[in-house]
Amino acid sequence: MIMIKPEKAKLDKIHAASVRILAETGVRLHSPRAVEFFARAGQNTRGDLVFPEEDFLMKTLASAPASFTLEARDPRHHLNLGGGSGRNYAAGYGCPSIVEADGSIRPALLSDYRRLAKIVHQSPWFKINGGILVQPTDVPPSLASLVMVYSTLFLSDKCLFSVPGLEPEVSRFLSLAAVPWGGREEFIRAPRSMTMISTLSPLQIDRMALDSIMVCAEWGQAMMISPGPMAGATGPVTLAGNLALGNAECLTGLALAQLVRPGTPVMYGLQATTSDLRSGSIAIGTPGYALQAAYCKALADYYRLPCRCGGGVNDAKEVSAQSGYESFLPLFTAAQNGVDLIVHSAGILDSWASISFEKFICDLDIISQIEYFLNDIMVDEDSLAVDLINSVGAGGIFLNQKHTLKRARTEPWYPKVAHRGPLGRQRAADHLLDNARREMDRLLADYQRPPLPREAELEMDRLMAAAGADPAWLSAIKSD
């Protein structure tokens, strides 16, 4: 497959267009404190509009690290981001609904969040857990994010995907996350949480996003700035214009983080999408989405920053041929281009509106397939097997050779979900879903909750009680 490598001349033009947008229109920041950071840095402001200049942006972004390590409680799960350290995956994010195997849709629950957190913990493809794996509707919105952070800390020792919020909320999330590390003083010594922060296209950043940027920066914690302009709706219908708009928003958010605390670890996270102009709806299972992901990675390299984009996204309403073929291109494009963290890599359906456990497991197979392909083949004396070929000779068979038997479990790629061989009387689609459920059950059966010091658990429970969390929620999480 041909790899899309955007030309520097095209990137120069997108950058120049973004600079012009910022100079002529600016970005609206819904926070006087955020505006003041730019004013103190000598940038033009007018009311809630800021007009960052090119020289200022490039100088300010130069303080951001080109690479960093997001630390997990278990060092085996540390996540190296940027600097050519390789691609990584994160689960689906933000869905309020669950699609069942029969296509029916129901609200997501806290029990779904816990089950997904355990699957993510068990899967070898993920080094980061949490965020909004699903939006639990049986927990009040005012406490749902805090409960999600608590659940992740309790159920996994992989890197923490935190959640954005207003200033008091983000401070509360990070205070809770600091407990297993021994408190704030130790926690802020390194980046130990990642927060996804979205802008409000076109050319706005709302109060919640700005508070999240400023608090995370004050704590020295990592963040990804993720504009999501929709070509034809909240951005120009042309992909180049959509990218230029989103890039202007992204640069502004990244600069704010560095103004608050130079050296704050940040990720360039432009998540530019497309629209279906026949209906006005978002469209993410498209080649336009995948193309913009390739340009997102190229723009991140242009600014020498780690990158987040892509994922196994689609517009299908249930697990189907559409959900498979639409997901593969953007996921493969992101992996092939070396995106540092591919979010939404598993489980997504219906334009980010829903998540499916069966689709999640199918996507793990797609990730495995892509990794096998991108890791290329070994070519050496043993793998060329010339002596074996000469020994078997013309018309022979390799199935019963020691060379084959020795490598039978490691050399070929085997699916965990897809079916091969005779079906019997079962429909192929039913068999695939059965395989997905069996693999999910295996991951859950093998799950063991990682250790958490008793004193940390007690302190976390105290913080949750002070925030008004229902003890029943905490008991349910601990029962896992």
Return the C-alpha torsion angle 192, 86, 302, 23, nearest 10: -40
CATH code for the structural domain at 61-374: 3.20.20.480
Q: What amino acid is encoded at 62 in this protein?
A: A
Query: Which 8-state DSSP code applies to residue 245?
Result: H
What number is the average pLDDT over the span 257-262? 98
The larger pLDDT score, comparing residue 446 to residue 280, is at: 446
Q: What is the CA radius of gyration of the chain?
A: 23
Residue 426 confidence class, pLDDT cut points 50, 70, 90: confident
Q: How far apart are CA 335 and CA 371, in angstroms?
A: 8
Mean pLDDT calculated for residue range 292-309: 97
In terms of DSSP H, where are the helices of 80-206?
110-122, 141-155, 167-178, 184-187
Residue 278 has pLDDT above 60, yes or no: yes
Tokens of 203: 């050319």
Asked whether the predicted pLDDT for residue 1 surpasses 60, the reply is no
Domain segments of the chain as ranges? 61-374
CA distance 300 to 340: 10
Q: Tell me the pTM.
A: 0.96
What's the chain's average pLDDT? 96
Question: Each residue of 113-128: b (16+ CB within 10 Å) or e?
Answer: bbbbbbbbbbbebbbb
Nearest CA among 241, 443, 225 for reference residue 343:
225
Mean pLDDT of 166-186: 97
Distance between CA 307 and CA 129 in Å, rounded? 18
* pLDDT one-digit tens code per residue, 328-367: 999 999 999 999 999 999 999 999 999 999 999 999 999 9
Cα 71 to Cα 161, 181, 327, 382: the distances in Å are 11, 11, 29, 38
From residue 7, give the alpha-carbon distance in Å to each of 72, 74, 127: 36, 40, 32
C-alpha span between 366 and 363 (Å, rounded):
5
The predicted structure's pLDDT at residue 2:
62
Q: Residue 193, SS3? A: strand
pLDDT in tens, 19-49: 999 999 999 999 999 999 999 999 999 999 9
Indicate whether 271 pLDDT > 70: yes
Confidence of residue 430 (pLDDT cuts 50, 70, 90): confident
pLDDT at 4 over 80: no
